[in-house]
């Protein structure tokens, strides 16, 4: 399937996922970029849908490898793998420069139960509590550091930036999946 119009109803619904309200209403969120999609696929997580722009992906070696994987071995059906025009990708992209791929995932893909099931039990688990953290870039960085420090869980108070904010996801660089 190829989508060329930014006014396509499917694209409009995806744009809603860049807001906390849209994510909560649909139960879905977006992850943008080849690196994050590669991390998901390596972890055995198959997105609900992947929107991609082949010309943008083919600009880098990593993008070409990912494109090959998407088309041949990622476990995505034709209905889940949707090609879009550069204009549509620019509309879908939250980054200053579109990275060529946007994945749609259910919010529960990073649920505590799912994450704990993958972790080894800790003798003395370390918990990190974040309170009133408003900057998405800082939260993403803290999540990466928590992963490196083998923190068992990160707890967020209600007044923190949204965990699924696109800037948090980008700054965390895959720490959500680990």
**Per-residue confidence (pLDDT) for residue 123, from 0 to 100:** 66
- Reference 42, options 121, 118, 133; nearest CA is 118
Give the domain ranges of the chain: 2-110, 112-172
Secondary structure of 44-112 in HEC code, one letter for each residue: CCCCCEEEECHHHHCCCHHHHHHHHHHHHCCCCCCCCEEEECHHHHHHHCCCCCCCCEEEEEEHHHHCH
Per mean pLDDT, which range of 46-60, 105-119, 127-141 is the poorest? 105-119
The token duo for 90 is: 């620019």
pLDDT tens profile 69-116: 888 877 888 889 999 999 999 999 887 788 899 999 999 887 766 666
175 has a pLDDT exceeding 90: no
Taking only the tens place, the pLDDT of each residue in 55-70 is 999 998 988 999 888 8
**CATH number at 2-110:** 3.30.1330.30
């Amino acid at each position: 399937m190829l989508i060329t119009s930014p006014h396509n109803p499917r694209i409009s619904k995806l744009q809603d996922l860049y807001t906390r309200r849209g994510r909560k209403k649909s139960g879905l969120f977006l992850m943008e970029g080849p690196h994050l999609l590669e991390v998901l696929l390596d972890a055995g997580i198959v997105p609900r849908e992947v929107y991609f722009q082949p010309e943008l992906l083919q600009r880098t070696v990593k993008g070409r490898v990912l494109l090959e994987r998407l088309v041949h071995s990622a476990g995505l059906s034709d209905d889940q793998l949707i090609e879009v025009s550069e204009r549509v990708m620019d509309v879908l992209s939250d980054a200053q420069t579109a990275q060529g791929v946007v994945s749609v995932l259910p919010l529960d893909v990073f649920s505590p139960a799912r994450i704990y099931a993958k972790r080894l039990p800790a003798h003395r688990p370390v918990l990190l509590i974040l309170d009133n953290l408003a900057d998405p870039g800082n939260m993403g960085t803290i999540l990466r550091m928590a992963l490196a420090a083998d923190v068992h869980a990160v707890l967020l108070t209600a007044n923190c930036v949204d965990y699924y904010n696109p800037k948090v996801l980008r700054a965390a660089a895959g720490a959500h999946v680990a």
